[in-house]
Structure 1
Amino acid sequence: MRAYFYLCLFLCVGLSALAQNPEIRKSFYFEVNETELQAEQIKSLQQLLDTLPSERILGFQVNAYCDGPGSKAHNEALGQGRILSLQNEIQKQFADSLINHQNFADEGQPDSLYENSQRRVDLIIQLAPEPDFGPDIAELLQQLCPPPQVFDINPFKDTILKGKGGSIIHIPAKAFSNVSPKEKVRIEFTEVITKSDMLLNNLSTSSNGRMLESGGMFKVEALQGQRKLKLRKRKELTFYIPSEKSLPNAQIFNGNQHDSLANINWTRTNGSTLQSTSMNDFLWCCSLGRNPLPCNFWCRMWGSLGFNQQPGRIRSSRRTGAEDISCGAFENFMKKYKVDNVEELMLAINSNREGETPIETYKELYVYLRNEERKETEAKIANGSIDASDLNYYIFNNAQLGWINIDAFSNWDASKLTTLNIPLRPANHVDVKMVFKNRNSILPPNTYRRGNFFYKDIPKGEPVNIIATKYVNGKSYIATQDYIIGEKLGELQFEEVSLEGIKAILEEMNS
């Protein structure tokens, strides 16, 4: 017959539980005449003990109960054996002096929720109240969080919005349900592109414990007055998101709305297909005389994307029937070779390619110029002078409002993963983040390990910044430390910094 083990729901997960509850309770259940804890119970007990803030522990109380049948001496021996089994496990981490109560009752009060509830040991962990540091870290994070961009739209018309970071959202007409025709809809849009953006919005990059690398996070909310709207069935928003590079194997993730203390967990979105292309990909296809819908969209959007000039037009008799076509993609090369049309461009290029097979067809010219364009783009990225037209764009539809993330899983060799203890006690006035230098990834810590924040399954050798913030009696403090995962981490040194000072420090994480 299996041993029954139940975790009391008196223990609430998270910092707030420890702050609000002066004691933690947990019960262990036994079969008839059994005194030893089962392996799963020992594991669960050790996990609980790992989470305890040791400096706040006042003591452990252990109460054993038996059911009615059997003599008092027999039941007392069972109870004492069960207490000893629990006490031995506690002593592996804490001194005997903390186990200040060991009680045995002949017969426990039955609990209708649990079978065999009278054959049990109750563990009660008594905690000192957490010191009062004034408003918790949530208030500081709220002060740091930038406001969203706001747009007022007519919900019955097709709308295209451009964010300050270059992101574009297409909202189809009649996209929202239960809309009043007499009021405009307010769109609140948040773009989170850089690491400092993530930190200021208290965001991180993990999905069910697995590390992610972000290609951009976005939040879209629609409101009429104070009422939040939802998308109608079979209605989707279309996103066009600029990026200097495309993440291999990137996917779309959604995150549930969270409060300022919780770390968001990203989950993969079903039904959204992510494509990656560039502005010039569309302009090239327009230049070739092919005008599918995406090309037409980008040609119409040219001005609103912030480019300084409209794409030019050229005339070519080769493979185009001498028709007028859009030529934004050829414009730079025509200026470079100081020519006016494609025929002259082809001749100029061939004159500089002596000894090589001449370019004779429009397709060959296309392939050659695309290769040249990529070389130039790589050079621009290297020296930091990339232009908006060189950026890649992620394109996807999404049928859900709220937080959206373009992410790719970071896969590491299991042999290269390690655990890191942060020498900092968790409390409701403290926040910690690990910022990866070579990838767009930020990880929150696990809440406790032997009373400290800790990180599990992180890759050795990766350079990171450890950033910790504290909010004590209305004053903000920050500590940062460069760190190579796997090496020894020094003590975090906090200094008092203004809100603007914190923002400036976080801005440095982008370099």
Structure 2
Amino acid sequence: MKSYLTMLLVLSSFLIHAQSASRTIFTFNTSMGLNSSEKDQLESTYFTMHDDNYHCFEVVSSQEKNAYPYQKQLALAKQRTLAMQNYYQQELGMNTDQVFIKYGGEHPTLWLHKPDAKLTVTGEVQLDDQNKQCFSYASIRNLSITTDHGNRLYFPKMAFETMDGKAVTANDISICLWEFADKKSLIFSNLTTSASGKMLETGGSFYLEASWDGKPLKLRKGVYYTIELPTAAAHPDMFTYYGYEKDGLINWAVDKQEPVIVNGLAPEPQTEEVIELEGEAVVWDAPFAYNEDGFELESEEPFYSLTAGKLGWINCDRFYDVPDKSTLALKVDTKEPVIVRLVFRDIESVMECYSDSNHKNKYVAENIPTGEKVLVLAYSVQDDQAVLGYKEVTIGENSLEQIELAAMTKSRFESAVRELLY
């Protein structure tokens, strides 16, 4: 009874949608089969359909109806609908819910159903050991770090403990970091600047880890370190964001308790903390901003100063929200999966595009600021080989853009990205 009711619901839904379905007459030489132009036309028909819609192909023209007896018309219709169904299923990977032959009426017809698309993020974040920077930390001293890109980090003494909460007093603690100071480094690591799909503008991102004797460490409760990031901008609405892995990407979450200070120092601590070390009480003040001697730092260049109470993924960000937004669809000339990113020319932001479950070659970005100039990058890297396609677009000018890929070595891919992201 249950299966019978389900069939009735499916049939009822089909009949309702069929009444409003788009229709075309599609004919071809059955002895020759589908040529490339005809295949492109079939793909385009499905590609341009809206989600949750039907399309009907009638496969016998009015001229053929006048010229041929009914039995030949019927044979043509069967051959054509079967060939078209095979193309959609075998070459485009569609299932029987998406393409099917309907018998009845004057001739068999081919039907397409485009379900609601499922959007899936592309590209998993990668940390390359070649870009790792490591520093030695003695727990009884404050530590000042200057990174390869000129960012500064300050750790107070006695900052770390084991994962089970035991204080560590070693002189050879290792602090390692990866920094993402520009859009090139974001692309090479597949990192993006978004918080649950909302666009962020970044002042710089990091991944930090600490270890001693090969074992991971964490910050002690209540301990904060400071990061200073030189900047040409001075946005007052920056905050500390922490990153969490979701679907292979890093999703950023704001900490409203940790605003970023522009061109200044983090506040002085209000209290002191007492900790136990091997039976002795050690009092320390954990300053937020200092050099190795504990003195406050001053700088003439503009910089963001943020405090963080966690290791892992750290970002200096702000929401970039505008009222006028657009959706951009991209058609890439491959059925193989690729990573697609939007690199903003005038904003420090890189946004992800999502693969469309209805198409192996369609990618979508939603809620993108209209009028912004972006470089679209579509790429894939496997061992020493890569493919890359790119296009300069203005958001809102076209709802669909075509991207063509070129094969190259991994080395050439990296050089090309550096040239494009000047």
User: TM exceeds 0.5?
Assistant: yes
3-state secondary structure, aligned to 2:403 = coil
| Cα distance change of structure 1 residues 274 and 501 upon mapping to structure 2, 3 Å threshold | same
Contact 1:437/1:509, CA 8 A, preserved across alignment = no
Contact 2:261/2:304, CA 8 A, preserved across alignment = yes
Query: What letter matches 1:507 in structure 2?
Result: R
Instruction: Name the counterpart of 1:273.
Output: 259
Shift of 1:499: 2.3
Instruction: Name the counterpart of 2:12.
Output: 85
Separation in 1, partners of 2:358, 2:13: 18
Contact 1:191/1:218, CA 8 A, preserved across alignment = yes
Query: What letter matches 2:243 in structure 1?
Result: G
Shift of 1:424: 3.0
Match 1:430 to one of 338, 357, 362:
338
Shift of 1:152: 2.0
Shift of 1:147: 2.2
| Cα distance change of structure 1 residues 145 and 211 upon mapping to structure 2, 3 Å threshold | farther
Instruction: Name the counterpart of 2:370.
Output: 460
Instruction: Name the counterpart of 1:243.
Output: 231
Q: If the length of structure 2 is used for normalisation, what is the TM-score?
A: 0.62
Instruction: Name the counterpart of 1:173.
Output: 157
Instruction: Name the counterpart of 1:218.
Output: 206
Shift of 1:80: 3.7
Residues 451-489 of structure 1: CA deviation (Å, up to 9, x unaligned): 221011112221100001024686211111111112235
Query: What letter matches 2:190 in structure 1?
Result: N
Aligned residue pairs, count: 303
Contact 1:212/1:441, CA 8 A, preserved across alignment = yes
Task: Give the greater-gyration-radius structure (CA).
Answer: 1
Alignment of 1:5-24 (within 5 A): none
3-state secondary structure, aligned to 1:177 = strand
Structure with more contact order per residue of length (Cα contacts < 8 Å, sep ≥ 6): 1
Does 2:184 match 1:196? Answer: yes
Instruction: Name the counterpart of 1:154.
Output: 138
Higher strand share: 2
Contact 1:215/1:247, CA 8 A, preserved across alignment = no
Query: What letter matches 1:238 in structure 2?
Result: T
Does 2:403 match 1:492? Answer: yes
Residues 18-70 of structure 1: CA deviation (Å, up to 9, x unaligned): xxxxxxxxxxxxxxxxxxxxxxxxxxxxxxxxxxxxxxxxxxxxxxx529xxx
Separation in 2, partners of 1:204, 1:167: 20
Instruction: Name the counterpart of 1:263.
Output: 249
Separation in 1, partners of 2:243, 2:153: 18
Residues 60-85 of structure 1: CA deviation (Å, up to 9, x unaligned): xxxxx529xxxxxxxx4x44422313
Separation in 1, partners of 2:217, 2:335: 36
Unpaired runs of at least 5, structure 2: 22-52, 58-84, 86-95, 101-114, 116-121, 266-285
Contact 1:192/1:198, CA 8 A, preserved across alignment = yes
Unpaired runs of at least 5, structure 1: 1-64, 68-75, 102-124, 126-135, 280-292, 306-327, 329-388
Contact 1:447/1:453, CA 8 A, preserved across alignment = yes
Q: CA RMSD in A?
A: 3.7
Instruction: Name the counterpart of 1:342.
Output: none
Residues 202-240 of structure 1: CA deviation (Å, up to 9, x unaligned): 111111221111111112111224432111111111112
Query: What letter matches 1:468 in structure 2?
Result: A
Match 2:379 to one of 469, 473, 495:
469
Separation in 2, partners of 1:264, 1:149: 20
Query: What letter matches 2:255 in structure 1?
Result: T
Shift of 1:200: 1.3
| Cα distance change of structure 1 residues 84 and 487 upon mapping to structure 2, 3 Å threshold | same
3-state secondary structure, aligned to 1:197 = helix
3-state secondary structure, aligned to 2:187 = helix
Residues 121-143 of structure 1: CA deviation (Å, up to 9, x unaligned): xxxx9xxxxxxxxxx976xx759
| Cα distance change of structure 1 residues 257 and 176 upon mapping to structure 2, 3 Å threshold | farther
Separation in 2, partners of 1:167, 1:194: 12
Separation in 1, partners of 2:384, 2:147: 33
| Cα distance change of structure 1 residues 251 and 426 upon mapping to structure 2, 3 Å threshold | farther
Shift of 1:406: 1.0
Higher helix share: 1
Contact 2:137/2:175, CA 8 A, preserved across alignment = yes
Instruction: Name the counterpart of 2:31.
Output: none
Match 2:390 to one of 468, 471, 480:
480
| Cα distance change of structure 1 residues 248 and 407 upon mapping to structure 2, 3 Å threshold | same
Does 2:189 match 1:185? Answer: no
3-state secondary structure, aligned to 2:259 = coil
Does 2:307 match 1:397? Answer: yes
Contact 1:194/1:510, CA 8 A, preserved across alignment = no
| Cα distance change of structure 1 residues 144 and 468 upon mapping to structure 2, 3 Å threshold | farther
Residues 416-443 of structure 1: CA deviation (Å, up to 9, x unaligned): 3111111038977410100000010110
3-state secondary structure, aligned to 2:207 = strand
Separation in 1, partners of 2:139, 2:207: 18
Contact 2:381/2:410, CA 8 A, preserved across alignment = no
Residues 124-180 of structure 1: CA deviation (Å, up to 9, x unaligned): x9xxxxxxxxxx976xx7597752111122233221111111111111122111255
Separation in 1, partners of 2:214, 2:14: 55
Instruction: Name the counterpart of 2:321.
Output: 411
3-state secondary structure, aligned to 1:188 = strand
Instruction: Name the counterpart of 1:334.
Output: none
| Cα distance change of structure 1 residues 276 and 301 upon mapping to structure 2, 3 Å threshold | farther
| Cα distance change of structure 1 residues 190 and 83 upon mapping to structure 2, 3 Å threshold | same
Identity %: 22
Query: What letter matches 1:399 in structure 2?
Result: G
Query: What letter matches 1:469 in structure 2?
Result: Y
3-state secondary structure, aligned to 1:264 = strand
Separation in 2, partners of 1:435, 1:193: 14
Instruction: Name the counterpart of 2:328.
Output: 420
Separation in 1, partners of 2:305, 2:179: 15
